[in-house]
Structure 1
């Protein structure tokens, strides 16, 4: 998970004396809260809710950094990459879904073919019976 945090220093004295390494503190705070926010969401939701995540993270960071003498103006979530195992599981699930659909389509085709053959046989029997009637 990557994000960019845009902030401005509002009180240089607080930033200088209230915190040892402002950049490192904001980075760790952003990483921790970003992971918490994404961890609270379902995978599908986390991949599609960038604006919601950006907004919540900006509010959390702005509240925390205010006492340090800074204001967070914007947060932009750059990318969310699920762990390799999750991506592999998603691929397996998609493959299984495609195979399931293919099996359904094949079964429906076989069913339709059997119906058409049966209708053809019934029509042939009917025509033979009609021909026998006229003899």
Structure 2
């Protein structure tokens, strides 16, 4: 009787264990079929009599039915986990709503299976808390300007905390940032003011460049005009000097000719004739012009004027001789 009761008890226990193993296989989605084919980039965690036995590698694996159980099936591919929107307060007391995408990869199936109950939930919560902490250290402008810093900080924090879980965080990306409408209006006004400021700066710089170019052009024009005037004055002076020189040479030649003519026979008569012609010519010009002039009283008598001129000429000639 005792042996029968013991046998029945053992059968009940074995049946319960088998049912539990069956439920676990159903939960894992994979059943032990003695010969098992593990797909690539997957790791099957096997328990033997309720204790961890081994991790099956990709390929063909043989297990003992009812004794070995495929407890967990872990994918070794990179997984994208959506982080739902959450509230965060910046350093300048602005309420933000942020969401993102987390990319993780399992590198140790044993730690992932036994190190944490729900690895996806744990990593998501860690990413949310780290995001709130990092955003609280920065102002609103810094959050927009240094999103890479926030992403890097979240990745670093997850990798530090997820080492016992056998999970590696590859990267984190913030998707959207939502803020109150008043803050958005203020930021829009700030952007418009900044654009107007840049436009005014560009316009003033353009006006300054135009003024500089105009001043440089006027300066160059004045320099060129002064150089042209200088060259013109030099040319005029050279021309006047040349004219004076030529006039002096012509006068010298004329005087030499007159002197030679006077020194000849009847030269005095010729000089008298020339002086008379010049006298008459001068009075002819006086009659043609309306200029008022003061002349000696004896100028109306040509004979006396000629006599005076001849006497002066004779005095000069006697002094030279």
Could you say whether these structures have the same fold, taking a TM-score greater than 0.5 normalized by the shorter chain as the test?
yes
Name the one with the larger helix percent. 1
> Counterparts in 2 of 1:50-129, with a 5 A limit?
50-90=147-187
Instruction: Report which of the two structures shows the higher radius of gyration computed on alpha carbons.
Output: 2
Aligned residues: 99
2 CA distance for matches of 1:35 and 1:87? 20
Helix, strand or coil: the match of 2:178?
Answer: coil
- How far 1:92 moved relative to its partner? 6.9
Report the Cα distance in structure 2 between the residues aligned to 1:36 and 1:45, rounded to whole angstroms. Answer: 14
Q: State the alpha-carbon separation in 2 of the partners of residues 27 and 80 from structure 1.
A: 18
**Corresponding residue for residue 130 of structure 1:** none
Q: Secondary structure at the match of 1:80?
A: strand
Aligned to 1:18: 115
Higher relative contact order (CA 8 A, sep 6+): 1
Residue 157 of structure 2 is aligned to residue 42 of structure 1: no
The alignment yields a C-alpha RMSD, in angstroms, of 2.3
What is the CA–CA distance in structure 2 between the aligned matches of 1:57 and 1:3, rounded to whole Å?
11
How far 1:20 sits from its partner (Å)? 0.8
Deviations 1:39-64, CA, capped at 9 Å, x for gaps: 11100110111111111111111111
**Cα separation, 2, equivalents of 1:18 and 1:83:** 40
Gaps of at least 5 residues in structure 1 are: 102-135
TM-score by length of 1: 0.63
Change in CA separation of 1:70 and 1:41 when aligned onto 2, cut-off 3 Å: same
Quote the residue 1:3 is aligned against: 100
Unmatched segments (≥5 aa) in structure 2: 1-97, 198-321
Inter-partner Cα distance in structure 2 for 1:32 and 1:85: 26
| TM-fit CA distance, 1:14 | 1.1
User: Normalised by the size of structure 2, how large is the TM-score?
Assistant: 0.28
